[in-house]
Amino acid sequence: MTGDILEHPRVEEWRRTHPREWWAFNQLRPESDVRDRVIAAVLAGRDDDTAIEELVRFAESIEGNKRAARAGTLIPPPPIGERRPLDVTIKRMTKMREEGRLFFRVDFATPHGWSGYFDTTSPEVVERVSKHRQRSRPLTVVGEITAHPYDFLVVLGGRVKIV
């Protein structure tokens, strides 16, 4: 990505109006495809693009990691392939549609400095997350760690359930 595109008026405006996202954008590795997708979304004026959502998720992950480091609660996330219960705080649940498939994406954080998300079509999981209004109280979810997009962000896959 050339510096010229970062000086485009739309990018300049977005940088001024979204300082947190710009900060996170600058934390991404230069070879990250998210960088290119964010710039494409900004240039096209798509504020609700999935690349912007990924960038917000990345910003939240960095912030949670730094909070845990200051609090002394920082521990690495479980390895890929491990399935176990996790105490999480739900950050948001978003209705998504990809390739004609409708599902809900649930973003969560842990007190250990890493966060993540999982996708679900389970009415029981959606209902439990929706009813969980006291977001500061943790929920226990069980799922398999299927990816580590960043060192402190995980993706749960398989059948995720709330216990």
> What domains can you pick out in the chain, each with its CATH number?
3-70 (no CATH), 73-162 (2.40.50)
- Residue 43: closest CA among 18, 21, 13: 13
**Percent of the chain at pLDDT exceeding 90:** 62
Nearest 10 degrees: CA dihedral of 132, 137, 140, 146? 90
> Which of the four pLDDT bands, split at 50, 70 and 90, describes residue 2?
low
Asked if the model's pLDDT at residue 86 lies above 70, the reply is yes
Query: 98 falls in which pLDDT band (50, 70, 90)?
Result: confident
Of 120, 114, 128, 130, whose CA–CA distance to 160 is shortest?
A: 120
pLDDT of 138 reads 87
Q: Evaluate whether 107 touches 60 at the Cβ level (below 8 Å).
A: yes
Give the model's confidence band at 135: pLDDT under 50 very low, under 70 low, under 90 confident, else very high. Answer: low
Q: Is 82 helix (H, G, I), strand (E, B) or coil?
A: coil
Please say if the pLDDT value at position 157 is more than 70: yes
Mean pLDDT of 72-80: 92
CA 81 vs. chain centroid, Å, equals 19
Q: Which two tokens stand for residue 107?
A: 């973003």
**Token code pair at residue 25:** 């954008």
What are the structure tokens assigned to 130, written together? 């929706």
Rounded Cα–Cα distance for residues 77 and 151 (Å): 8
Would strands 153-162 and 115-120 be described as parallel, antiparallel, or unpaired? parallel
Residue 1 has pLDDT above 60, yes or no: no
CA 141 to chain centre: 16
Average pLDDT in the chain? 90
**Token pair belonging to 66:** 């730094």
pLDDT value for 80: 94
- What pLDDT shows up at residue 3? 64
pLDDT at 134: 62
Predicted confidence band at 150 (pLDDT cuts at 50, 70, 90)? confident
Per-residue pLDDT at 137: 79
